[in-house]
Amino acid sequence: MRKFIFLFTCISTIFLQAQDVKKATVYAGQGETVIVPTDAKPTQKQWKGNFTFKDSDVIFSNDFDGARLNGIIKENDSTFIALITSENTPINISPWYAFKVASKEPKQINVTLTYQEGIKHRYYPKLSDDGENWEVLDSTNYTAYEKGNADFGMGSLPLSVTLKLSVSNKPLWVAGQELETSASVREWATDLTTKKDITYSSIGKSKEGRDMGLLSIGKADSKNMILIISRQHPPEVTGYLAMKAFVETLTSDSKLAQKFRKKFGVFVVPLMNPDGVDNGHWRHNLGGIDLNRDWANFNQPETSAVRDFMVAKEKETEGKFYFGIDFHSTWDDIYYTIDSKYEGNMPGLVPDWLTAVKADLPGYDPNIKSSDKLQPTAVSKNYFFVAHEAEALVFEIGDNTPRDFIKEKGEVSANKLMELMLSRLKEGK
Ligand SMILES: [Zn+2]
């Protein structure tokens, strides 16, 4: 398998050597959204603490925010079997695992990751000394069992994997995707507020009482607004990284960004599901619900906070949301758009934008899947379009997309969007 080496810099520097992400076929995207009830359901929290063993100096811990380790047993002196389980069922196949491991004496151990019935291993392991800077596990230390041959989805995954790890008295972090928790999101957002036209405030509380943080960028009372959200689904860290690069570009000192911020009010909810993220959920909020099925019913506090904010902001400014974007992660990079036969507040913006992004990223051919099914709104993009006439889409990044490409794509996407929206505004269309 070919390998990529890439470098990614944001709050932390991540040096990751990722597995090949070139596929023989193009990802077909997910099927029609299944409409499900969104009344709250019970979720199971993970027990938190240290896992120790008789006659062993190896200690595992899950005592931190983000991802899961639900149990671990010692098979022999050097072999351990971990169990990772979800917050409830039925659930998407996105087991977001993480643990810390240390030993008094330096040694090599094997850790096999196992999952509940019907679930397979998805996220390639990343290692860290500090929980912030990550490096992918060398493929020689990775063994996959019963791996499927498909390019995408359940059929592409192994049933379980064994990781060979070198442990010592300095704890080693192991995680399925980088741990970007509510604390790290808050730190990132707060750092952006050193600029005069950027603030970070709360538009409500999650079910467990965490703030629903909102970045306000540019002209807060402008009639021309855009909305950006990310991380409805906790393990979808690559989508979050794209959102960061996108937003950082909107807040940059470039002439374009400064001009854009004078004309537009940009509102960002970088972490839609803070409880799910900190509790290590695979998909749902603490109400046990996929938030991206609740944009018609608004049974959950996280979706309701954003709806209330948008409605209030339109009233306050007597303006419009011209654009709404929701960042996610999936098997491969893909855009879910709304059929161009439907016209919102800036008709044609999304297709023109994606064409401009393609032209600026040599060799990149965007995978675009549009839908003409808008009702019931259920998902964020349909709500943004139907209720606010914002040109809307879902921006999905692959689980294994190289982090340097995510950053480049986020930056190019933001620059092209600003150019287009400024020229459309000038032309009055
Ligand atoms: Zn998602």
pLDDT, tens digit (0-9, with 9 covering 90-100), for 250-299: 999 999 999 999 999 999 999 999 999 999 999 999 999 999 999 999 99
Ligand 1 midpoint to CA 168 (Å): 36
What one-character DSSP code corresponds to residue 68? B
Ligand 1 midpoint to CA 326 (Å): 9
Ligand 1 midpoint to CA 292 (Å): 8
Burial (0-12, 13-18, 19+ Cβ within 10 Å), 194: exposed
Instruction: Centre a 10 Å sphere on the Cβ of residue 32 and count the other Cβ atoms it contains.
Output: 7
What is the pLDDT, as a whole number, of residue 205?
98
Round to whole Å and give the CA distance between 297 and 289: 12
Closest residue by Cα to residue 202 from 214, 189, 188: 214
What is the pLDDT, as a whole number, of residue 429?
66
Ligand 1 midpoint to CA 105 (Å): 41
SS3 content of the chain, % helix, strand, coil (to 5): 25, 30, 45
Instruction: Centre a 10 Å sphere on the Cβ of residue 54 and count the other Cβ atoms it contains.
Output: 5
Ligand 1 midpoint to CA 394 (Å): 9
To which H or E segment does residue 405 belong?
helix 403-427
In terms of DSSP H, where are the helices of 150-279? 182-192, 237-250, 255-263, 274-278
Ligand 1 midpoint to CA 329 (Å): 6
What one-character DSSP code corresponds to residue 216? E
Asked if 3-22+46-175 and 182-427 have one fold, the answer is no
Q: What is the pLDDT of residues 28-70, one digit of tens each?
A: 998 888 888 999 999 999 999 999 999 999 999 999 999 999 9
What is the pLDDT, as a whole number, of residue 33?
83
CATH fold, domain 3-22+46-175, is: Immunoglobulin-like (2.60.40)
Residue 230 CB partners (closer than 8 Å, separation 6+): 236, 239, 240, 243, 269, 270, 271, 272, 326, 327, 328
Which residues fall inside 5 Å of ion ligand 1, going by CB? 233, 236, 328
The string over 329-366, giving b where at least 16 C-beta atoms fall within 10 Å of a residue's C-beta and e elsewhere, is bbbbbbbbbbeeeeebbbeebbbbbbebbbeebeeeee
Q: Which residues are paired to 287 by β-bridges?
A: none
Residue 382, phi-psi category: left (phi > 0), alpha (psi -120 to 50), beta (remainder)? alpha
Which CATH number fits the domain 182-427, given the four candidates 3.90.226.10, 3.20.10.10, 1.20.140.10, 3.40.630.10? 3.40.630.10
Ligand 1 midpoint to CA 36 (Å): 16
Phi/psi at 392 (5° precision): -135, 150
CA distances from 403 to 16, 22, 157 (A): 8, 15, 21
Ligand 1 midpoint to CA 232 (Å): 6
What one-character DSSP code corresponds to residue 155? G
Q: Which residues are paired to 131 by β-bridges?
A: none
Ligand 1 midpoint to CA 284 (Å): 10
Residue ranges of the chain with pLDDT lower than 70? 1-24, 429
Phi/psi at 201 (5° precision): -140, -175
Ligand 1 midpoint to CA 37 (Å): 18
Cβ contact 258:299 at 8 Å? no
What is the pLDDT, as a whole number, of residue 23?
58
Round to whole Å and give the CA distance between 113 and 121: 8
How many residues appear in the chain? 429
Ligand 1 midpoint to CA 383 (Å): 16
Cβ contact 50:63 at 8 Å? yes
* Domain residue spans of the chain: 3-22+46-175, 182-427
The string over 146-159, giving b where at least 16 C-beta atoms fall within 10 Å of a residue's C-beta and e elsewhere, is eeeeebbeeeebbe
Ligand 1 midpoint to CA 239 (Å): 8
Residue 241 CB partners (closer than 8 Å, separation 6+): 8, 10, 178, 180, 397, 403, 406, 407, 410
